[in-house]
Amino acid sequence: MDYREEADTLGTVKVPAQALWGPQTERSRHNFTTGPLMPLPVIRALLQIKRAAAVANRDLGELSDTKAQLIIAAATDLLALDDARLRPDFPLHVYQTGSGTQTNMNVNEVIAHQALTHDPTGELQPNDDVNHGQSSNDTFPTAMTITAHQGVAQVVAAVRHLVAELTVKQTEYWRIVKIGRTHLQDATPLTFGQEVSGWVSTLQHDLTYLESLTDTLLELPIGGTAVGTGLNAAPGFAQAVAAELSEAYHQPFTAETNKFFGLAAHSGLNVVHGALKTLASDLLKIANDIRFLASGPRAGYHELTIPANEPGSSIMPGKVNPTQAEALTMAATRVMGNDVTITVAASQGNFEMNVYKPVLIATFLESTDLLAGTVTGFDDKLVHGMTVDAARMRELVDQSLMTVTALSPHIGYHASAEIAQLADQQGLTLKEAAVQSGQVTADQFAAWVDPLKMTGIDDLK
């Protein structure tokens, strides 16, 4: 491999000749070699920040038009690359300095070298020009905030689509009666549409929680520089950068936030991830309900039939497993675990800065990626093709003893319990036991024990 030599404040470094990065990135990629690479959404956000900062510094008279245009052009070039072409020049890992300084400098160095493709005689200095008026301490958390906001938007879109699909099922099966279950035991009837409406409402509430908190991710700490005072940033710089970023992302970002808070605390990510954790726990419940209701086909509930997307077993021919539900439930458990990581990391602000920033944003983005992806797969490959076995549902309703609850208003709780016990002990249907008890006639039983009527479906709007 061919190398070039570049110098930094610690001395001369050999850098791969074709690499766009410089000496600090080269040192860092050898010093920090463990764990996943810095997520590309963070890199793209930093590129947008550098472009916005160049515009702001130019307009404020802090940077020459020539240098600003080179930064803008280089950042634009890099942002136009797809992930596969962008990744090679951003080789650093999540587990590095807690401020994200290595990644910030990686971006600064790559922009400076990319600018040479526009003007080989131009000299952009990564620290003085690309990073002008900035610190890693404010640019990296600004990138964190932007990417977290984007990640949440992807989750919201996926969940909205799932809600729409479940609403179709709710309508389609609104009057299909099934047995309810509480404590994992038989309970009174409801319709499958009613059961699904509970799932729909749960997810709608989760969306409300999430969206009500997301505005905290519009507050950017840019302009705080090293400790929050704004040292070396021109007056108006933060507001100008926020305006540029708002235009780039079509979001109302603001720099009107306390910078000391923005650098030392990451409460916004913490509280929003709490809503993601709540969503994950509810998705876990819904996915489990569906896979249990689809259990069988001969020795389980088998009230639902789910699509056969792939062979379910390497040894048992013909087996169909609820794989999409399993993927979603695993993702949900990961998100719940990630919430612990984020809570602990967000608590580690010491004095003027939190130094757990890379693990905070990498963990947050893992959660949003997992939720958006597995919810979409669950929706498209399971829920969409899921159907009801109405005959099986009727069979289980007929077998259940808990429809006896409809007799209580007429003959009392204790007499009704005796009928249920008689049916259970002698293997009778509930109707047979009721008539045999002498407390209910066949006509009365037919009038009083109407499973569909018991659901209250006709009283619901």
Q: What would you report as the CA-atom Rg of the chain, rounded to the nearest whole angstrom?
A: 30
**Is there a binding annotation on residue 453?**
no
Inter-axis angle of helices 136-172 and 267-293, nearest 10? 30
Give the residue among 45, 222, 79, 245 at the shortest CA–CA distance from 147: 45
Question: 223: which residues sit within 8 A by CB, 6+ positions away?
Answer: 133, 138, 230, 233, 237, 238, 239, 241, 255, 259
**Under a CB-based contact definition with an 8 Å cutoff, are residues 284 and 277 in contact?**
no
CA atoms within 13 A on the CB side of 166: 26
Give the residue among 72, 63, 50 at the shortest CA–CA distance from 136: 50
How far is it, in rounded angstroms, from Cα 301 to Cα 290? Answer: 11
21-25-28 Cα angle (round to 5): 160
Identity at 192, one-letter amino acid code? F
**188 SS3 class:** strand
How far is it, in rounded angstroms, from Cα 364 to Cα 99? Answer: 16
**Is there a binding annotation on residue 136?**
yes
**Is there a binding annotation on residue 137?**
yes
Question: Is 313 a residue of the active site?
Answer: yes
Question: Is 347 a residue of the active site?
Answer: no
Q: Is the dihedral of CA 430, 436, 441, 442 positive or negative?
A: positive
**Is there a binding annotation on residue 405?**
no
101-103-109 Cα angle (round to 5): 100
Q: Is the dihedral of CA 368, 369, 370, 375 positive or negative?
A: positive
**Pairing mode of beta strands 304-305, 387-388:** antiparallel
**Is there a binding annotation on residue 319?**
yes
**Is there a binding annotation on residue 309?**
no
How far is it, in rounded angstroms, from Cα 407 to Cα 121? Answer: 92
> Which is the catalytic residue, given 64, 313, 347, 384?
313
Phi, psi (deg, nearest 5) at residue 177 = -80, 140
> 417-432: b or e for each residue (b if 16 or more CB lie within 10 Å)?
ebbbebbeeeebebbb
Identity at 174, one-letter amino acid code? W
**Is there a binding annotation on residue 108?**
no
**Is there a binding annotation on residue 267?**
no
**Pairing mode of beta strands 353-354, 185-191:** unpaired
> Which is the catalytic residue, given 183, 201, 281, 410?
183
**Is there a binding annotation on residue 295?**
no
Q: Which residues are catalytic?
A: 183, 313
Name the binding residues for substrate: 99-101, 135-137, 182, 314, 319-321
Residue numbers belonging to the annotated binding site: 99-101, 135-137, 182, 314, 319-321
